[in-house]
Amino acid sequence: MTTADAGGGVAGAASDLRLPAPGDLSSMVVTGAQFVPPDALYPPIEPYDSGMLDVGDGQLVYYEQSGRPDGKPSVFVHGGPGGGGGTDRRRFFDPQRYRIICFDQRQCGASTPHASTAASDPTVNTTWHLVADLERLRTHLGVDRWLVFGGSWGSSLALAYAETHPDRVTEMVLRGIFTLRRSELDWYYNDGAGHIAPEWWDVFCEPLRRAGHDFAHDNIGGYHRLLWDDDPAIARAAGLAWTRWEAATSTLLFSPAHVESMSDPDYALAFARIENRFFVHGGWFTEGQLIADARRLRDIPAVIVQGRYDLPCPATTAIDLHRVWPEADLRMVLAGHSAMEPNICRELVAATDRFAG
Ligand code: STX
């Protein structure tokens, strides 16, 4: 698209690359107080148990349990892929009624080895490894069946898991539906969402421009080369630009604090490397697989929460999923993408409350 060619032109060492600080562009976009209403989430809690599960391939997966040990089992499947970590994810469930299980997917969050390091082997991290890890975690914890909660990539992995093991899933709570079809990846990384957030699209394009990338197609492939460049300065700058694009476009009202929260260089590099590689491979799905196979889920009670103005994961996908799974309760709300959007977190908590029994 045209903005890819704007503003660049001066060839320079990629290590000179200067990315705007998270707040620098805030005067150019719609901003506003972005807050989670104080009573929308349950209060912060600490886990009563945590550990590192050996899932093979030299991989240790961090998990934790919070809430009520004899409560209704639920598993929180985080997004990205690569967006592990954090403590607010525990707060979507009533701790008096739920046994809340959270984990960091391979190579991100507290799981090791971390994707930002040379020790990590990207080839042992695919969707189907993660589906197997969920089963390993379930049996390790002695859980028979559980509620599966996931937003964004967490919805993709939750769907892949439930379509493979439907008998293990009691209910599903899904948000910001994402199924990695070609059209979804093109919208967000090639020619689509950049028309709505051109200032941040320009930041996303800058590392590619520096590398002489041809913007006619395949920005994901272009980034793949940069994120694994031998020069750590190139890889790190690419990691930040890729991740900030997502952070900046994930809230309906631009939030510098949200961008800042995803700007730790190790976090950003791991997030970008894992996402990028999964997207290069289309998630190891056949085109349209997750939606076609959703017919296997029709007996599972489910709520789908979708922000009408979700840029990373536009509403098309939630609507397409709902067409093959009309029994699911689709709640379209005035919001962008993030689980912390006020209208989204309210609906998510209402859904877990409804399923708490
Ligand atoms: N990736 C969308 C996704 O799964 C295209 C996602 N976006 N942000 C997140 O996840 C975090 C909230 C985990 C940072």
Lowest mean pLDDT among 16-20, 77-81, 153-157: 16-20
CATH of domain 2-34+185-283: 3.40.50.1820
Percent of the chain with pLDDT over 70: 89
pTM over 0.85: yes
In tens, the pLDDT along 181-198 reads: 999 999 999 999 999 999
Residues near 13 by beta carbon (within 8 Å), at least 6 away in sequence: none
Q: What is the pLDDT of residues 112-127, one digit of tens each?
A: 999 999 999 999 999 9
Q: Where are the domains of the chain?
A: 2-34+185-283, 49-181+284-355
User: What phi and psi values does residue 177 have, to the nearest 5 degrees?
Assistant: -65, 135
- Any idea which residues carry the catalytic annotation? 152, 310, 337
Instruction: Give every CB contact of residue 287 below 8 A, 6+ residues apart in sequence.
Output: 181, 182
Residue 10: per-residue pLDDT: 33
| pLDDT above 80 (res 1) | no
Substitution site in 130, 156, 250 for ligand 1 pocket (most atoms within 8 Å of beta carbon): 250
Looking at residue 76, its pLDDT comes to 98
Q: How far is the CA of 80 from the centre of ligand 1 (A)?
A: 4
Cis bond before residue 113 (omega within 30° of 0)? yes
3-state secondary structure 285-299: CCCCHHHHHHHHHCC
Q: Tell me which fold the domain 49-181+284-355 belongs to.
A: Rossmann fold (3.40.50)
Residue with tokens 């999964």: 278
